[in-house]
Amino acid sequence: MIYKLMNINSLDEELIKNYFPMLTEARQKKIASMKNTEERSVAFCAEIIARQCLSKFCDAPEFSFSLLCNPNSRSVVGNFNVEICIVRYNEFVACAVSDNFVGISIVPVQSFSFKDAQKLLSDSEIRSVFSESVYSFAELVNFTECKEENVKQKFAIFNSLKEAHYYSTGRGVRSEINKIIFEINNNGIICSDENAKVSVSHINNDFLLAVSVVERKKNE
């Protein structure tokens, strides 16, 4: 598995000159016709980061790949037997490539409410998140926002794990995202989906993002 993050603000003339000719004529026209500058940058960065990851994973030149890049939706490599996932959050784009079904997620580390946690997490996950707090459970329930850094990071990790699993399934029913339960312990991270494996889960301190990658086995 290979994954990478990219900030669209790092896009410069040199990158454009290097990668734009690798795109099909139709893709070049589509990106060039986008009126929103930010969306145009996201679309182009998705192409760049996908080709970089694929080149490293497949040991093939970056221009080799026939791509359908759809951040936060279904992305496909048409001419190689590999799986790819591309996501976007604000100015960040992330990509993961694997032989298995794969999902990647980037989630901001930010304040949240107890109700937010209840909507997304199981009871055991909530206990895990708030075990990082210096406050009692009764106090936490009444807080408008949870602002402790360790608590925010733990919540973001669980959030990113749920999202990464969702993307690894091929975008199933989003309302069922909280039915998958993760357990974080000293031995790693365990997912209630026995076909899933957490390959990456950490806080990127440079960008204040929780980054997770989940791979799922293909049926033999």
pLDDT at 186: 86
pLDDT at 40: 95
Residues 6+ apart with CB under 8 A from 106: 5, 87, 89, 92, 94, 160, 209, 210, 211
pLDDT at 218: 82
Indicate yes or no: pTM above 0.85.
yes
**What gap in Å lies between CA 72 and CA 30, rounded to an integer?**
18
Torsions phi, psi for 7 (to 5 deg): -95, 125
pLDDT at 220: 53
**What gap in Å lies between CA 63 and CA 79, rounded to an integer?**
12
Q: From edge to edge, which strands make up the β-sheet containing 92-98?
A: 2-7, 92-98, 83-89
**What gap in Å lies between CA 106 and CA 97, rounded to an integer?**
15
142 C-beta neighbours (distance < 10 Å), count: 8
pLDDT in tens, the chain (220 residues): 999 999 999 999 999 999 999 999 999 999 999 999 999 999 999 999 999 999 999 999 999 999 999 999 889 999 999 999 999 999 999 999 999 999 999 999 999 999 999 999 999 999 999 999 998 888 888 888 999 999 999 999 999 999 999 999 876 545 566 789 999 998 899 999 999 999 999 999 999 999 999 999 887 5
Site of tokens 């500058």: 37
pLDDT at 139: 86
Copy the structure tokens of residue 190: 């365990």
